[in-house]
Amino acid sequence: MNTLGRRSVLRASLGLATGAALARPYIANAAAKTATVWWVQGFAQEEDVAFRQLVAEYEKASANTIDYSVVPYAPLRQKIVSAITSGSVPDLIPSTPAEAYVLFAWDDKLVDVSDVVATQKHEYSETALLSASCYNRIEKTRSYYGIPFTSASLPNHIWRPLVEKAGFKMEDIPKTWDAYYDFFKDVQKKLRAQGERKVYGLGLQVTTNGNDPNNVFNYFLIAYGGVGIVTKDGRLHLDDPQVRDAAIKAMTYPTTAYKDGFVPPGAVNWNDADDNNAFHARQIVMDLDGTISTEVAIIKDREDYDNIVTMGLPLSNDGKPVPAQVANGIAMIPKGAKNPDVAKDFLKYLIQPQVSNDYLKAGLGRNIPAMPSIAKNDPWWSADPHRKAYVEQGLLGPTVPEFFVYNPAYAQARNEHVWSVGWNDIMQGGMTPQAAAEKAFKRVEEIFAKYPIVQS
Amino acid sequence: MASASVIGFSSPAVARRIAPWRYLQGGLKGSEYNWAIAFLVPYVAVFLTFVVYPAFYGLWMGSDPSLYTELFSDPIYQSTVVNTLLFIGIAVNLKMFCALLMSGFFMRRGWWVKALLMIYVLPWAVPALPTFISIHWMLNGEWGLLNNAIYQIFNVDGPSWLNSRWFALGSAIYSHIWKWMPFWTVILLAGRMAIPQELYDAAKVDGASGWRQFVHINFPLLANLYLICTLLSTIFTLGDFNSVFFISGGGPANSTHVLATLGIRDAFDLAKPRLGVAAVMSALPLMIPVVIVLMRKLRTAEVQL
C-alpha cells in the first residue's frame, strides 16, 4: 500500500487541475446547444404548463436544449439580482420585477438584443418597442436590451350584482374619469342604506406596498394630463405646470375618496394580494388592478366569473381617450451568459406571432400579446368578455409605456413609493395635497439627479 | 518518537536545534503530518468558503463610503433605525422574560403540562410565512378575524391594526414573540432541568419560599444561560425579516421598516445590492459589542449552566 505523502498529494492535485483545464473546452463545446433559463412562475398553473409546452416544442424544432427552472416571482427577483451582481448568470431571464431590465441596461449588464427584435419589429406595437429600448450609461446610447413577449395593463373590475343591488344598471356608469369613479361612491351609499355594513365603493390601492399603488397613481396622473412627466429623452418635467397640476389632482382624488370613507381604511397598508381578496369577498364594488388575474382566479366558478365586468378606462374629464400605461413582459440576456446564441434563438422562436399566441392562449390570456396582429387575427381574444375588454384596453386602444423605460430614475421613485407616501402624508399625516405633492416632487427630482442621460 | 519530540519542544535548548519548519509542524513527522493536513483541509475549505469568503465579500460590497451617503440620505433611514432599536429592545427582552417565566411553568409535573408544552411549541414548529400571512389577514381592519370578533362581542369596530405606525410595529413585535418564545422557553427549560434537585430540596428544608428559591437558586444558575440566550436572540432578531415584511410590509408609508427589511428593499426592489448590504452593515456598531460580550461570556471560566 502506498503511503500518502505530501508529494503524492501535490502530484495528484496537479494532475487533476491539468486534466480539468485540458478537458474544459470540450465540456463547453458539448454544452454549447443548451441554454439555461430561469422563468417566472405563472399566476395560474396553466401558464407554467404553457411554458413547458413551449420549451418542448422549441427543443423538438431546434434540437437545442433549454435547461429551465420555473421560480416564484419574489424569489426569482432575488435570484436575478444576486446572479447579475455576482456575474454567475443564466442565459435567459424574464425581467422580474418589471423594471429590472431598465436598471440592468443602465449599468451595461445586458446583451444588446436588437437582432432578435428586428425579426418581428414590424409586428410589435409602438409601445412594446418603446418598452424594449433602454439607455445604457456606459455606451451613452439607447438600444434594445429586452424582448417584449407579453403586455399588461390595469382594467377596472366591477361586481355587476353589487351595482344592480344598489339599484343601478351597468349602462348608468358615466363615461368620464371623475364621474366614473364617483358613481361607485353612490353605489356604496345605496348598499350601506340596505345594511351592507362593510362594503366599499372603490378598491383604490392607496398603499405603499408592491406595484399596485404606483400603477394606480400613474393612471390617475395620465388621466389628468400628466403623461408628459417623463419624456422619451429621459427628462423629468416637473417644471411643466400641466404635469404639476395633474400630479396634484392624482394626489387629491384617491385620498379624498379615502378620507370620505369610500375606500377601505385598511387599503393604506394593503399588499398586492389584499385588493384581490377584498374584491373576491365582495367587500369592494370595483378594483382598478393589473391584468385579468382577478377574473382568471375564479374561472372555474362560472357564475362569479360571469358576474364580474371587466372594463377599460373611462375618458378623461374633458372627454378624450386616456391611454393605458402598459407594462410589457420582457425577456433579457445578461452579459456573461455562456450560450447567448441559443438564448437568442429561443427568443426568436418565442416571439413568432403564432408561437406567442399559442403560449399566451394556453396561459388563459391573463397576459395579452405585445403584437396587435395576434389579437386582431384570432377571434379567441374577443370570444370572452373579459379578454375582449382587456385586449381593447391594453393592446388595441391607445397605450403608453411605463415611465421608467425613458429613465430608470422613475423605477427608483416607484420602488421608494414616493407618490403613495405622498398619499399617506395626506390621509394620515394631515398634509394638503399641494404640500404632499411638493414633498414628492423634491424627492423625485433628487432621484432623477442621480440618473443623468446624455442627450445626443 | 512523538512523545520524545513533544518533550524536546518543551526544552528551548532542543527547540533551537530544530529547523523552524519542523517547529511549525507541531512535532508531527513524515506521513503523520500529511495525514493531519489531509484531515484539516476539508474543514479549512468549508470555513473559508462558507464563513470567511461571504463575510469578506459582504464587507467588500459595503465598503464604498458613497453608499452610506446615499443610505443616510434616504428619507426613511432614521425612522428605520429607531424601529430596529425598538423592535430588538422590546421583542428580545419581553420574549426572553416571558420564556423564563414559562420555562418555570413547564417544570411542573403532570401529563397535562407535557401535553400543553407540545401545543405551546407549535408556533415555533410551523412554517413562518403562512402563519405571518394569516396574522396579517387576521389584523385586517375591515374583515379580519380579530376585528370581527371585537364587533361580535362588543358591537364596536376595532382599530385598523396595520394603519398606524405604532400598532403595525407592535403587531410585528407581537408576531415575532409569538413565533420565537416557545424556542427560547425550551432552551431555558433545558437549563432549569440541569439544576440538581438536591438544591431545591435543601432550600425547602431551610424553609425557602418559591420566590427565594428563584432568587437564590434559579436566577444565579440561569443567569449566564439567560444572558447568552438574550445576546443570541439579539443577533437573530436583528436579522428577522419575516416578522416585519409579512405582517406590516414595512408600511404604512414605509414607517415600520427595520434594517433587515430596508436592506432587502434596497438590494432587490431597488436592485442595489451594495446599498442593501450597507443598510445591514450600518447595524455593525450595535452588533460588534454584542458579539464581543457573547464571546467573552462563552469562554467564561466560571461555568454556571
Average pLDDT over residues B229-253: 93
Instruction: Please indicate, yes or no, if residue A345 is contained in any of the structural domains.
Output: yes
Instruction: Please indicate, yes or no, if residue A1 is contained in any of the structural domains.
Output: no
SS3 A315: strand
C-alpha A417/C-alpha A214 separation (Å) is 7
Q: Is A455 on the interface with B (CB under 8 A)?
A: no
ipTM above 0.90, yes or no: no
Residue B143 has pLDDT above 90, yes or no: no
**Block mean pLDDT (10 aa), chain A, length 456:** 53 53 43 85 86 94 94 91 92 93 96 97 97 96 96 97 97 98 98 93 94 96 98 96 98 98 93 90 96 92 96 97 97 96 96 95 89 96 96 97 97 94 95 96 96 84
How distant is the Cα of A382 from the closest Cα of chain B, in angstroms?
36
Whether A335 and A372 share a structural domain: yes
Instruction: Please indicate, yes or no, if residue A257 is contained in any of the structural domains.
Output: yes
C-alpha B80/C-alpha B181 separation (Å) is 24
Listed residue (A248, A328, A332) closest to A290, CA to CA: A328
C-alpha B192/C-alpha B226 separation (Å) is 11
Residue B291 has pLDDT above 70, yes or no: yes
Q: Which of A103, A198, A271 sits opposite B143 (nearest CB)?
A: A198
Q: Is A208 on the interface with B (CB under 8 A)?
A: yes
Q: What angle do CA A92, A97, A98 make, to 5 degrees?
A: 85
Question: What global pTM score does this model have?
Answer: 0.82
pLDDT for res A4: 53
Residue B29 has pLDDT above 80, yes or no: no
**Dihedral-angle region of residue A243 (phi above 0 means left; psi in -120 to 50 means alpha; beta otherwise):** alpha
Whether A52 and A39 share a structural domain: yes
Written as nine digits, the cell of A455 is 442627450
Are β-strands A324-332 and A399-401 bridged in parallel, bridged antiparallel, or unpaired?
parallel
Written as nine digits, the cell of B259 is 434594517
Q: How many CB atoms lie within 10 A of CB A367?
A: 24
- Give the contacts of A121 (CB within 8 A, at least 6 positions apart): A129
C-alpha A157/C-alpha A165 separation (Å) is 17
CATH code for residues B66-298 = 1.10.3720.10
DSSP 3-state percent helix, strand, coil across chain A (nearest 5): 50, 15, 35
Whether A283 and A354 share a structural domain: no
pLDDT band at B1 (very low <50, low <70, confident <90, very high): very low
Written as nine digits, the cell of B244 is 416585519
**Cβ contact B132:B246 at 8 Å:** yes
Listed residue (A205, A235, A208, A210) closest to A220, CA to CA: A205
Whether A332 and A284 share a structural domain: no
Which of A86, A95, A207, A269 to mutate against chain B (most B CBs within 10 Å)? A269
The reply to whether residue A209 touches residue B250, judged by beta carbons under 8 angstroms, is yes
Q: How many CB atoms lie within 10 A of CB B217?
A: 18
From chain A, pick out residues whose CB is under 8 angstroms from the CB of B140.
266, 274
Cα A289 from chain centre: 11
Instruction: Please indicate, yes or no, if residue A312 is contained in any of the structural domains.
Output: no
Indicate the Cα dihedral angle A137, A138, A142, A144, nearest 10°. Answer: -120
Whether A282 and A210 share a structural domain: yes
Average pLDDT over residues B109-125: 93
Q: Which CATH number goes with the domain that contains A57?
A: 3.40.190.10
Written as nine digits, the cell of B71 is 443610505
The reply to whether residue B142 touches residue A266, judged by beta carbons under 8 angstroms, is yes
pLDDT band at B21 (very low <50, low <70, confident <90, very high): low
SS (H, E, C) chain B: CHHHHHHHHHCHHHHHHCCHHHHHCCCCCHHHHHHHHHHHHHHHHHHHHHHHHHHHHHHHHCCCHHHHHHHHCCCCHHHHHHHHHHHHHHHHHHHHHHHHHHHHHCCCCCHHHHHHHHHHCHHHHCCHHHHHHHHHHHCCCCCCHHHHHHHHHHCCCCCCCCCCHHHHHHHHHHHHHHHHHHHHHHHHHHHHHCCCHHHHHHHHHCCCCHHHHHHHHHHHHHHHHHHHHHHHHHHHHHCCCHHHHHHCCCCCCCCCCCHHHHHHHHHHHCCCHHHHHHHHHCCHHHHHHHHHHHHHHHCCCCCCC
Query: What percent of chain B has a predicted confidence (pLDDT) above 90?
Result: 61
Q: Which of B163, B267, B269 sits opposite A269 (nearest CB)?
A: B163
pLDDT for res B65: 93
C-alpha A294/C-alpha A273 separation (Å) is 10
Instruction: Please indicate, yes or no, if residue A27 is contained in any of the structural domains.
Output: no
Are β-strands A324-332 and A147-152 bridged in parallel, bridged antiparallel, or unpaired?
antiparallel
Instruction: Please indicate, yes or no, if residue A29 is contained in any of the structural domains.
Output: no
How distant is the Cα of A13 from the closest Cα of chain B, in angstroms?
12
How distant is the Cα of B48 from the closest Cα of chain A, in angstroms?
18
Listed residue (A180, A172, A254) closest to A213, CA to CA: A254
C-alpha B294/C-alpha B292 separation (Å) is 5
Instruction: Provide the domain count of chain A.
Output: 2
List the single residue in A with minimal CA-CA distance to B54.
Answer: A86
Whether A48 and A94 share a structural domain: yes
Q: Which helix (H) or strand (E) holds A129?
A: helix A126-132
Whether A275 and A418 share a structural domain: yes
**Looking at chain A from residue 419 to 438, which residues have their Cβ under 8 Å from any Cβ of chain B?**
420-421, 424-425, 428-429
- DSSP letter at A361? H
Whether A145 and A163 share a structural domain: no
Instruction: Please indicate, yes or no, if residue A455 is contained in any of the structural domains.
Output: no
pLDDT for res A246: 98
**Cβ contact B262:B249 at 8 Å:** no
C-alpha B121/C-alpha A330 separation (Å) is 45
Which range of residues forms the domain containing residue A251? 156-289+408-448
Q: Which helix (H) or strand (E) holds A150?
A: strand A147-152
From chain B, pick out residues whose CB is under 8 angstroms from the CB of A281.
143
- Give the contacts of B286 (CB within 8 A, at least 6 positions apart): B85, B238
C-alpha A109/C-alpha A83 separation (Å) is 11
**Cβ contact A276:A289 at 8 Å:** yes
Instruction: Please indicate, yes or no, if residue A338 is contained in any of the structural domains.
Output: yes
Whether A81 and A161 share a structural domain: no
- What is the per-residue pLDDT across B174-205, written as a single tens digit (0 to 9) for each? 999 999 999 999 999 999 999 998 998 999 89
Residue B77 has pLDDT above 80, yes or no: yes
SS3 A284: strand
Question: One-letter amino acid identity for B100?
Answer: L
Whether A282 and A418 share a structural domain: yes
Please tell me whether the peptide bond between B54 and the residue prior to it is cis, using omega within 30 degrees of 0: no
The reply to whether residue A278 touches residue B143, judged by beta carbons under 8 angstroms, is yes
**Looking at chain A from residue 387 to 416, which residues have their Cβ under 8 Å from any Cβ of chain B?**
412, 415-416
pLDDT for res A15: 54
Q: Which of A207, A415, A428 sits opposite B270 (nearest CB)?
A: A415
Please state the domain extents for chain B. Answer: 2-59, 66-298
C-alpha A108/C-alpha A84 separation (Å) is 11
The reply to whether residue B160 touches residue A424, judged by beta carbons under 8 angstroms, is no
Whether A161 and A285 share a structural domain: yes
pLDDT for res B180: 96
Q: Is A141 exposed, middle or buried (0-12, 13-18, 19+ CB in 10 A)?
A: exposed
How distant is the Cα of B5 from the closest Cα of chain A, in angstroms?
20
Whether A149 and A161 share a structural domain: no
Chain-wide mean pLDDT for chain B? 88
C-alpha B297/C-alpha B191 separation (Å) is 16
Residue A334 β-bridge partners = A110
The reply to whether residue A208 touches residue B267, judged by beta carbons under 8 angstroms, is no
Helices within A152-292 (DSSP H only): 160-165, 177-193, 212-223, 241-259, 274-280
The reply to whether residue A265 touches residue B141, judged by beta carbons under 8 angstroms, is yes
Average pLDDT over residues B270-284: 91
